[in-house]
Structure 1
Amino acid sequence: MEASSLQQYTSNTTISRVLLSAGVLLVLWTNCIMPVPETIQWIFFAATILIAGIPHGALDHIVAKQNSNLQNHSFSNTRFYLTYVSRMALYGICWYFFPSFALLLFIVLSAFHFGETDLPLPISIHKRSAIVLQTNYGLLIVLVLLLTHAQEVLAILKIIEKENTFLLKAIFKPLHSTLIILILFALLILNFIGQYRSHRLPLQRYVNIAFRTLLILGIIICLPLPLAFAFYFGCWHSFQSLENIRQHLSNSESEHIGFTHLLQKCIPFSLLAFIGIGVLTFLATYLQTESVFLFFFFVGIAILTAPHLEVMSDMYEHLRKKEYK
């Protein structure tokens, strides 16, 4: 089973193919038929976040309980919620007082989370090596998303630009951006070569991952920022995560939880998130600035990342062990 670990944890390739095909069709439509109006882009972005982006994070309490059950540990809802909310509060305070550091931390945490989801690795690979490879992959995805949409991203980060003007302008210069992306890509290839030499997993697995990664990067680069973010986070990452959660919560091969049942479990905490988005929308309307709304929305997602990452990381560790058996 170890060799299959280089694919999706669930070995469900149907979702991957559907999402990648949809991304390619969206690129062709946007670039060859007619550009999607900006208003429609943001509506599509919001729809993907509401349908899959928020719900996949709204299951953290259920995933954490399953993690505890598999470890034969007791689970306390009160302890979980207190820990979860306290970490969100600490990270929120960090954003208020140290926005630059908080942004850097968010990028690194997101990179590892994306890499852990997209790039499952055999349990035999040392955890430190796995973290390096997955973070490298995630950083490539995140920075391609940000650096190839410099104008839109800088508009969102305008609130913290005053204390980082030189740094942001230096990073987002086309030459510097290209160099950063090429370095990360080269490091990823070297990491893959190192893992292949160490574990001798089937070469076809690496070829498949390389092709899929190039396709994802191509889609992100060719789409405007709202559609690129909607494709990767709202669709690719969120639906893959939901499928992995579904597999994790299923007790056996004959007791698989359906997506409908899974989405029903998302409702309570999804509603809370929707209320939060409503408050942000009201603030943005009151302040009459789109960039402030987007920045607040961005920070809101960032604050949820730290506790969410820990829960999901524990889940992926269980899935790796399960697939090894």
Structure 2
Amino acid sequence: MGKIYNISILLSFVGLWLTSMLSGDLEILLGFILIFSFGILHGSNDILLIDSISNKKKPNKYPFIKVLITYLIIVFSAVIIFYLIPLFAVVLFVLFSAFHFGEQHWEHKRLEVSNELINCFYFIYGLLVLQLLFILNTTEVIDIVKSITGYTLTDQLILYSSISNLIVFVLLSIFMYYKSLKFRSVILLELFHLLIFSIIFKVSTLIWGFTIYFIFWHSIPSLYEQITYIYKDFNNVNIFSYLKKAFPYWIISLIGIAIVYYIFKEEKLFYAIFFSFLAAITFPHALVMNKMFTNKKTQSIK
């Protein structure tokens, strides 16, 4: 995984270089292209992951049709919630995403602390990353939240909530520094990563900054974790096999967002539709990935 994050650092600086070369509109266009490709793709194979998890426990424990129907119900329920109770849905999306981002980034480090403490740290860390993005792109965040919910965030709310979470992060990190040798060995590197995120978010548009983090620091490492979990090895053959199986679900996802946009395009801005659909597929994906990581821990103990 270390090599993957080295690639992430390199690609991040490439992204920064592109920031100086491209206009804001081109940044946004390229951002959407990457999100619709790698971003959507990394969450497209949840059905295959569920099947792999169930086979490791008990063959045919979760029949395919039942899994597919349940998955679609969750996705469409999220879309409906965004339409009916958008403010609640946005808050839920941020909370789910925070834990999911934190878990993906830290799970493989195997910190020697209790499950309760590590889950709390996953959430606080992921929320900190999102708040760095928010506080360094406040105007765009306020506009998007208003377009989705009709509610106007204030600069003070974003600032004070970010400071509060930063204090919790620092205190929790100090505690974990004394509790975990592994944490002690990686914390300086992780603080450097946070510095990289801050620079990226500061000089980029909201969409481009989110894209660099979401694709290079989340989606690509997630694809590596998924392929390794399903096929036991990360190589060209297994990558191709994964992509072949994910392709139909990826196409369905793209068709889904096109349909949702077509239905609601007169009532919502494109950004609102985009983030709403992204949230809808994030909810079940975060649950599936958590199940995968839990299963990996169980298997490593045996």
Q: TM-score, normalised by structure 2?
A: 0.89
1:97 paired to 2:89: no
Q: Which amino acid aligns with 2:242?
A: L
CA displacement 1:227-266 (0-9 Å, x = unmatched): 1011011332111110110111123x59885323222221
Write the mapping of 1:260-271 to structure 2, written as runs, cut at 5 A.
260-271=240-251
1:306 paired to 2:264: no
Distance in 2 of aligned mates of 1:292 and 1:308: 25
Q: Partner of 2:158 in structure 1?
A: 177
Q: Which amino acid aligns with 2:252?
A: L
Write the mapping of 1:121-132 to structure 2, written as runs, cut at 5 A.
121-122=109-110, 124-132=112-120
Write the mapping of 1:104-115 to structure 2, written as runs, cut at 5 A.
104-115=91-102
Q: Partner of 2:11 in structure 1?
A: 22
Q: Partner of 1:79 in structure 2?
A: 66
1:179 Cα deviation after fit: 3.6
1:90 Cα deviation after fit: 2.7
1:56 paired to 2:45: no
Q: Partner of 2:184 in structure 1?
A: 203
Q: Contact between 2:28 and 2:205, CA under 8 Å: does it hold in 1?
A: no
Structure 1 residues 83 and 66 mapped into 2: Cα distance closer, same or farther (>3 Å)?
A: same
CA displacement 1:13-54 (0-9 Å, x = unmatched): 222112212212332453xx54x2133112211221132111
2:269 partner SS: helix
Q: Partner of 1:316 in structure 2?
A: 293
Q: Partner of 1:140 in structure 2?
A: 128
Distance in 1 of aligned mates of 2:160 and 2:85: 27
1:212 Cα deviation after fit: 1.9
Q: Decide which moves more: 205-214 or 56-65.
A: 205-214
Matched residues, percent identical?
Answer: 24
Q: Contact between 2:35 and 2:215, CA under 8 Å: does it hold in 1?
A: yes
Q: Which amino acid aligns with 1:137?
A: Y
Q: Decide which moves more: 253-262 or 241-250.
A: 253-262
Distance in 2 of aligned mates of 1:203 and 1:158: 41
Q: Which amino acid aligns with 1:190?
A: L
Q: Decide which moves more: 81-90 or 310-319.
A: 81-90
Q: Decide which moves more: 197-206 or 226-235.
A: 197-206
1:297 partner SS: helix
Structure 1 residues 324 and 218 mapped into 2: Cα distance closer, same or farther (>3 Å)?
A: farther
Q: Decide which moves more: 18-27 or 226-235.
A: 18-27
1:154 Cα deviation after fit: 2.4
Q: Which amino acid aligns with 2:58?
A: N
Q: Partner of 1:295 in structure 2?
A: 272
Q: Decide which moves more: 40-49 or 150-159.
A: 150-159
Structure 1 residues 281 and 234 mapped into 2: Cα distance closer, same or farther (>3 Å)?
A: farther
Q: Decide which moves more: 147-156 or 96-105.
A: 147-156
Q: Contact between 1:66 and 1:249, CA under 8 Å: does it hold in 2?
A: yes
Q: Contact between 2:128 and 2:165, CA under 8 Å: does it hold in 1?
A: yes
Q: Which amino acid aligns with 2:293?
A: Y
Distance in 1 of aligned mates of 2:41 and 2:293: 18
1:159 paired to 2:147: yes
Identify which of structures 1 and 2 has the higher relative contact order when contacts are C-alpha pairs closer than 8 Å and 6+ apart: 1
Q: Partner of 1:258 in structure 2?
A: 238
Instruction: Decide which of 242, 246, 252 is 1:272's aligned counterpart.
Output: 252
Distance in 1 of aligned mates of 2:105 and 2:8: 13
Q: Which amino acid aligns with 1:293?
A: F
Q: Which amino acid aligns with 1:69?
A: N
Q: Decide which moves more: 47-56 or 68-77.
A: 68-77
Q: Partner of 1:70 in structure 2?
A: 56
Is there any run of 5+ residues in structure 1 with no aligned partner, and where? Answer: 1-11
Q: Contact between 1:68 and 1:75, CA under 8 Å: does it hold in 2?
A: yes
Distance in 2 of aligned mates of 1:192 and 1:202: 8
Distance in 1 of aligned mates of 2:201 and 2:230: 31
Q: Contact between 1:123 and 1:320, CA under 8 Å: does it hold in 2?
A: no
Q: Which amino acid aligns with 1:313?
A: N
